Amino acid sequence: MKKKQPRKQNQSKNQNKDSSSLKLGDMINQDIMSQLRQKQKELNEAEQEKKEAEEEKKREERKRREKNKSFEELLGESNLNWKNYK
């Protein structure tokens, strides 16, 4: 009878797989990698600016709505119990 040795075979396959697999960073030129990093940084900054502009727009919209409210709307939103003041 022959004994099977699957462990040794699996280990050798894993070692071959690790040595033959290359990472994307290894295959791409360093200049290209630096350009990609720069582009990613620019995109993140643009996204941040967009978020800030959107928040500013929302604040302005809230201010405009608050400014245009009628006395009745302001009175209705008040937390005070106005019956106590009659």
Bigger pLDDT: 69 vs 11: 69
Bigger pLDDT: 56 vs 75: 56
pLDDT tens digit string along 28-63?
788 888 899 999 999 999 999 999 999 999 999 999
Q: Does 83 reside within a domain? A: no
pLDDT at 8 over 90: no
- Residue 86 is predicted with a pLDDT of 64
pLDDT tens digit string along 9-19?
555 555 555 55
How many domains, in total, are found in the chain?
A: 1
Q: Does 39 reside within a domain? A: yes
Q: Which domain holds residue 62?
A: 28-69
Q: Does 10 reside within a domain? A: no
Q: Does 80 reside within a domain? A: no
Q: Does 35 reside within a domain? A: yes
Q: Does 64 reside within a domain? A: yes
For 49: left if phi > 0, alpha if psi spans -120 to 50, otherwise beta; the answer is: alpha
- As a whole number of angstroms, the distance between CA 61 and CA 75 comes to 21
